[in-house]
Amino acid sequence: MDRISRGLKRMTMYLILIAGAVLFIFPFYWMVLASIKTPEEVFDLSLIPSKVTWDSYVYMFDRIPVWGSLLNSFIFAGGVTLITLIFTSMAGYALARLEFRGRDVLFSVILLTMMIPFQLLMIPLYIIVVKLGWMNTYAGLVLPVSVNALGIFIFRQFFRTVPQELIDAARIDGAGELKILFRIMLPLSKPACVTVAIFTFMGPWNDLLWPLLVTRDQEMMPLAQAATLFGLEGQGGQWGSIMAVTTILAVPVVVLYLFFQRYFIESVSSTGMKG
């Protein structure tokens, strides 16, 4: 009796999990499917297209500079990530391993800045970008959103676990603090680097609001913005080609995710922070 009820319970659990998986994966399948269906079939419920066509992709490539936008996305997300990695690891190292006056106060202040919502900053940041003449430039896109306290938090946490002897030995060899950071601390902290990089990269890659404010020139738009404007355009936009552009937008991050799945998920459960 007990075994039967246990089996039943397992069945239910599997059913729930499979239903969940379908719920989460099917829409993506439906999206890719729509992008390769013929316009006549797009509204059909058929799960396998009778004919595969690339027309939607051709149409989309015709209308928006997809490659340029992808490059812009890489520069935007990559630039923010690079700056964040360098500057927050430096600050994180100082906060973790060096003694100096005001350290704890500074750290609390930095933690406090994590609570400032972007909505408070968006108007002044936009005005700053305009006044600096940074509209429609990579500088305007990247620099104002490269302040990221999460990196400091993670690096500080990680650097504290590195044995002091390693640092002392390097100092005796005459290494400066930056050399210690880049030659010893960072190579030992690959998981921290990957976590910070992933979380930082995803933000700008997926972001719509900030590019919407500071890039108004088609040639400078990251793909998330270009896709949005393409999709919202009244005339000529068709679901097939909209699904084609969203597919292209989703692919890089999904690939990244499949490779680094562990980091994505572990960092959520360990920090409880939102990327």
> Residue 194 Cβ, how far from another protein at the closest point, in Å?
14
Among 36, 66, 91, 193, binds another protein (CB under 8 A): 91
> Residue 205 Cβ, how far from another protein at the closest point, in Å?
7
Q: How many Å apart are CA 238 and CA 55, to the nearest integer?
A: 11
Footprint (CB under 8 A) of another protein, residues 1-20: 9-10, 13-14, 16-17, 20
> Residue 234 Cβ, how far from another protein at the closest point, in Å?
9
Footprint (CB under 8 A) of another protein, residues 21-40: 21, 23-25, 27-28, 30-31, 34, 39
> Residue 56 Cβ, how far from another protein at the closest point, in Å?
12
Among 50, 52, 179, 259, binds another protein (CB under 8 A): 179
Site string for another protein, 202-241 (x = CB under 8 A): x--xxxxx--xxx-xxxx-x--x--xxxxxxx-xxxxx--
Footprint (CB under 8 A) of another protein, residues 37-76: 39, 43, 45
Among 86, 170, 184, 194, binds another protein (CB under 8 A): 86
Footprint (CB under 8 A) of another protein, residues 109-148: 110, 113, 115-130, 132-140, 142-147
Among 70, 170, 194, 250, binds another protein (CB under 8 A): 250
